Chains A and B, each alone.
Chain A
C-alpha cells in the first residue's frame, strides 16, 4: 500500500444485523487520483462511502484521510472533503445560490463566489427561483457545486451522473477532471462502466461486500480481456463473419488469406469492456 496515499481504508467491515454489507476490504487512493468504485446495487458501495466520510463508524478497520483517522479527527477531515450523494439532498425551497452560501457558511467561508461556482457546473448564475423548479440534471449539477464550496482535497461522488441527460453528465465529468487536474483526490462510485473507464485511474470491483479486483482499466483489460479482430467478407455470394483472437499466432496468416482471397466488407478490432471483465470475475451483471 502506498504510504503517501491520501486515503487509506484498511480491513473495513460493516454489517446491518445479519446482513454483511462490507466484508474486510482494504484499498488506497493517491493524491490527484480518481478511484472508480464499481459494483451493482447492494454491493456495499454506499456503505463504504458513508464510512469514508464519517457518517458510519466502521465496525472493524480504519479509514485515514490526509493522514488523519476519520473516527478520531472527523471534524478536521470533514472540513477538507466534499461529498455528493446519489439522492438529492438540497434545500428545495431555497435558491441555488442560497444553498451554496449556506453550506459555505458551515465551513466558515464568507466570500464564496457563488456565481462562478454555478457557472462552472453549467448552471445559470442569475436564477433566484427555488431549486424545486430545477430539472433533475440541474439539481445534480448543484449537488456537485455544493461539494466544491470548500475547495476540497478529497471529493466523494456517489453515482454523480446516474440517470442524467448527456449534457448534464458531460458537464459533471468535466468538473471531475478539472478537480483531478487541480490535485484533488476523487472517490467515485458508479455502476456505469463506460464512465468509470473514461474517468478512473484505477477501479475497484465490489461484489457482495468484497473486492473482486483493483487495478487500472487498461491492466484489467490486458489481464482478463481478449482482443479480437472481427472481419466480414463475401465468399461465394454468402456473407461470412469471422472472429480472430489477436493473441493467436495463426491470426496474421489467416488475415492475409482473407484479404487476398475474398471481397472484404469491413474489419475492426474489439476489446473486452470493464463490464465483461466484471461479469467474468464476479458472475454478476452491474445492473
Chain B
C-alpha cells in the first residue's frame, strides 16, 4: 500500500509540476463553464410554418375567408388557442415556388399550401427531406388542424400525428442544459490523453522498468496509475459540475457516483490506449477514433434525431443517459441501476484488457 501511495504522490506532483498540463486542464474547465453560462436558459418552442393560399373571390366568400391573411390567422388562433399563438409562427409565401424555396432553404420548418380555387380544397404539406421525423409529424398534425379550422371539415388527406419517444411538449430542455451533459462527458474523454500519457511516459522513458526492479509489482504500478487517474479525472469533472450548476441538493450524490464511475471507466480505457502507444503522438493518433466514438452519445442529446440503437454499444452511453435523466428530467439514480451495472462492467473489461496488454508490453 505504501508503494502505491508513493507512486500516486509522485504522479500527482509530476502532473502539477507540468504547468502546460495544469493550464490546459483548467482552461478547458473554465471555457466549458463560460460556454454553458453564456447560452440562453430558455427554449424557443415556436415552429415556423410557411403558408401559401390560392383562393378566388367566390370560394373565399363560401368559406368565410374573405378577410384574407388576417382572417386565416385569426381562424387559426381561434382553433389552436393560446398555445398555438405562442408555439407556431406563420410565414406567408407569395407564390407556390416561394413556399417550396423557403422549405428547401430551411427558413421554415414546413410549408403548407391551401388551394381553394377549384371544386375541392387542396391542401399540400411541404417538408424538407432533411427534417427530423418529429418535425414532419408535428407539421402533419398542425396541417390537419389548420385545414379543419379554415374550411370547416377535416380534409381527406391521411394526416397522422405520432409522438415518438417521451412527449416533451411543455418540458423541452434548453440547449445549454443538454450541453452540460456533453461537457461533463467531454471532460472525461479529454482526460484519455492525460491519463494515457501518464503510462506512455513511464514506458517510453523506461521508468516503469526501473520501478519493476524494486519491490513494486505490476499490480502496484497499475493500481497507483488507476488511483492517480481517477483522482485527476474525478476532480476535473467535479469542478466542472459545480461551475455548470450540475450539483444541486437533490442531484449531488447521484452526480458524484456517476462522475466516479465515469472517471474509472476513462482510466480503464486510457490504460489500453497508453499500453498500445509508443509515444504521445502515437497515442493521440490511436485514441482519435475512440475519442470520436465516445463522444457520439452526448452529441445525440443535442440532436435526438440522430438517436440509434447502436449507441448502446458505446460505453459513454451508460454515463450520458443517467446524467441527462438526473440533470434534466428529475430522475433518480435508482432509475438507472442497469446503466450503472454496464458502466462497472465496461470499466472492469477495460482494466483487465489494459493490464494484460501492459504486462505483455513491459515483458
Q: A: which residues have CB within 8 A of B?
A: 53-57, 74-75, 78-79, 81, 83, 85, 87-94, 102-103, 105-108, 146, 150
B206 in the interface (beta carbon within 8 A): yes
Contact of B214 with A93 in the complex, beta carbons under 8 Å: no
Q: Does B6 contact A (CB under 8 A)?
A: yes
Q: Which of B14, B209, B216, B363 contacts A106 (CB 8 A)?
A: B216
Q: What DSSP secondary structure best describes chain A's contact surface?
A: loop
The CA of A88 and the CA of B204, in the complex, are separated in Å by 11
Interface CB pairs A-B, < 8 A, 26: A54-B212, A55-B209, A55-B212, A55-B362, A55-B363, A78-B215, A79-B215, A81-B213, A83-B213, A87-B206, A88-B206, A89-B205, A89-B206, A89-B209, A89-B210, A91-B14, A92-B205, A93-B18, A94-B10, A103-B210, A103-B214, A106-B6, A106-B211, A107-B214, A146-B210, A150-B214
A54-B213 contact, Cβ under 8 Å, with A89-B206, A102-B10 = yes
Taken together as a complex, chains A and B put the C-alpha atoms of A85 and B206 apart, in Å, by 9
Interface string of B309-339 (1 = CB under 8 A from A): 0000000000000000000000000000000
The answer to whether B207 touches A91, judged by C-beta atoms less than 8 angstroms apart, is: yes
Least CB separation from A92: chain B residue? B205
- Nearest A residue to B208 via CB reads A89
Which 7 residue pairs of A and B lie closest in terms of their CB atoms, listed nearest first? A89-B206, A89-B210, A105-B6, A83-B213, A106-B214, A79-B215, A89-B207
Query: Which residues of A have CB within 8 Å of B211?
Result: 106
Interface residues of B toward A: which range?
Answer: 20 to 34
Q: Which residue of A lies closest to B6 (CB)?
A: A105
B245 on interface, CB distance cutoff 8 Å: no
Q: Which residues of B contact A74 (CB under 8 A)?
A: 217
* Complex Cα gap A55–B363 (Å): 7
Q: How far is the CA of A107 from the CA of B3 in the complex (A)?
A: 8
On chain A, the residues within 8 Å of B212 by CB distance are 54-55
0/1 interface trace, chain B 1-25, chain A, CB 8 Å (1 if under): 0110011001001100110000000
- Chain B residues near A91: list those with CB within 8 A: 10, 14, 205, 207
Residue contact A102 to B6, C-beta cutoff 8 Å:
yes
| Inter-chain contact A85/B215, CB cutoff 8 Å | no
Contacts of B3 in A (CB 8 A): 105-106
Q: Shortest beta-carbon distance, B8 to chain A, in Å?
A: 11
The smallest C-beta distance from A154 to any residue of chain B, in angstroms, reads 12
- A63 to B89: give the CA distance in the assembly, Å: 84
Measured CA separation A55–B215 after assembly (Å):
12
Contacts of A92 in B (CB 8 A): 205
List the A side residues contacting B217 at CB < 8 Å: 74-75
CB distance from B98 to the nearest CB of A (A): 66
A78–B214 touching, CB < 8 Å: yes
Contacts of B18 in A (CB 8 A): 93
A74 to B14, CA, bound (A): 29
B75: shortest Cβ distance to chain A, in Å?
Answer: 75
B residues in contact with A55, CB < 8 Å: 209, 212-213, 362-363
Q: A53-B213, A94-B13, A105-B3 are in contact. List 20 more A-B contacts (CB 8 A).
A: A54-B212, A55-B213, A78-B215, A83-B213, A85-B206, A89-B207, A89-B210, A90-B205, A90-B207, A91-B10, A91-B14, A91-B205, A93-B14, A93-B17, A106-B6, A106-B7, A106-B215, A107-B215, A108-B2, A146-B210
